[in-house]
């Protein structure tokens, strides 16, 4: 009887060990504003409102697509936070670094500012077709002056990735993001410096 009980305990222990989950490394990525261009500061203030984002991309999952209308996400590769929060923080960082505005406020700051910016993220994904992948970033900025729409800037950009690896997708997304922020800053500076 003792042998049977011992055998049952060994089998239970063995089964419990075999059910142990397999672990893997989770890679987390972000977007980062890197440009060091400086502007002659415009003596105005701006508040950066919280971006809106297409619900499909409102996740830390890194989205890719291999077919029209079908989206998937990488298992071992994620954004460090949801893209709207990353872009919100990096947009503020970009204006702080390039000195475009005298003061940059970030939502939910209640300070009265000369301008405000609303950001709408339509798409941030890796498009894969015929073993070639493209980073895609589609984003719109609405600039308000005294709560009235002042100007709108829309970007729908793509860049061919070096490989199909998620890290190369992230590098391309960073290139696109920096190009967009630099163009936005240049256009705002040209329009507001007078």
pLDDT in tens, 70-126: 999 999 999 999 999 999 999 999 999 999 999 999 887 777 899 999 999 999 999
Q: Is there a cis peptide before residue 11, judged by omega within 30 degrees of 0?
A: no
φ/ψ of residue 51, rounded to 5 = -70, 155
| CB-count burial class (<10 Å; 0-12, 13-18, 19+) for 52 | middle
| Number of neighbours of residue 136 by Cβ within 10 angstroms | 21
pLDDT score recorded for residue 161: 97
pLDDT in tens, 125-170: 999 999 999 999 999 999 999 889 999 999 999 999 999 999 999 9
pLDDT score recorded for residue 25: 86
Residue 80: CB partners within 8 Å, gap ≥ 6?
28, 29, 30, 60, 86
pLDDT in tens, 19-43: 555 666 899 999 999 877 899 999 9
Which of 54, 114, 120, 90 lies closest to 182 in space, CA to CA?
90
Enter the pTM of the model: 0.85
DSSP string, 168-190: HHHHHHHHHHHHHHHHHHHHHHH
pLDDT score recorded for residue 111: 78
């Amino acid at each position: 009887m003792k042998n049977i009980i011992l055998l049952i305990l060994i089998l239970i222990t063995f089964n419990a060990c075999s059910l142990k989950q397999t672990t893997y490394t989770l890679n987390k990525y972000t977007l980062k504003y890197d440009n060091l261009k400086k502007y002659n500061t415009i003596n105005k203030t701006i508040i950066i409102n919280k971006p809106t984002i297409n619900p499909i991309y409102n996740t830390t999952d890194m989205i890719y697509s291999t077919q029209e209308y079908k989206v998937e996400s990488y298992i071992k590769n994620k954004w460090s936070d949801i893209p709207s929060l990353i872009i919100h923080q990096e947009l503020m960082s970009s204006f702080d670094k390039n000195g475009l505005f005298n003061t940059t406020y970030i939502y939910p700051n209640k300070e009265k500012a000369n301008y405000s910016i609303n950001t709408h993220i339509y798409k941030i994904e890796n498009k894969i077709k015929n073993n070639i992948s493209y980073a895609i970033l589609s984003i719109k900025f609405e600039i308000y002056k005294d709560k009235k729409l002042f100007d709108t800037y829309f970007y729908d950009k793509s860049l061919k990735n070096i490989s199909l690896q998620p890290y190369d997708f992230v590098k391309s997304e960073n290139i696109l993001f920096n190009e967009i922020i630099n163009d936005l800053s240049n256009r705002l500076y040209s329009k507001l410096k007078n």
